[in-house]
Amino acid sequence: MNYVILEDQADKKMILDDIFFEIAHRKLGIEKALKNFSQQEGYIVEGKAICFRGDLDEYELSQLKIPLDDKHILIDVEADYSRVTQNSQAYVTFKEFYSYLETYLKNYVPLDDRIYNLLLDVKKGLEI
């Protein structure tokens, strides 16, 4: 499958918004995703994926247009499941991802103690 690499910050935000919209509408989706992220594990939902290096096997890593290292996250979306018009991938640093995640949660998710503690676990897990 061919992918377009998104480098513009607005495009990256758009696909992350698509993914988190889906995650937030699943029962315990945010909690499960945050637990995964705190362990540097990805999350997949409806043709959209947030992947850490450890989520991919050697073959999958070899198919990427840009190598994925231990300090970046791959965001992978299929056009059929997103607002993008082409299958797309984007790379974000752990710091960029955490910043997006923190902003998204503050704007769209009630931050009770449980969510706040999970967010802190993500920060620790990403070593930020």
If pLDDT is split at 50, 70 and 90, which confidence band does 82 have?
confident
pLDDT of 93 higher than 90:
yes
Contact indicator for 79, 86 with CB cutoff of 8 Å: yes
Contact indicator for 37, 125 with CB cutoff of 8 Å: yes
Predicted pLDDT at 2: 83
Per the confidence metrics, is the pTM higher than 0.85? yes
Contact indicator for 48, 73 with CB cutoff of 8 Å: no
Contact indicator for 35, 100 with CB cutoff of 8 Å: no
Predicted pLDDT at 74: 98
pLDDT of 1 higher than 80:
no
The distance in angstroms from the start CA to the end CA of the chain is 33
Domain boundaries, the chain: 4-125
Cα 58 to chain centroid distance, Å, stands at 20
Tokens read off for 37: 């992220």
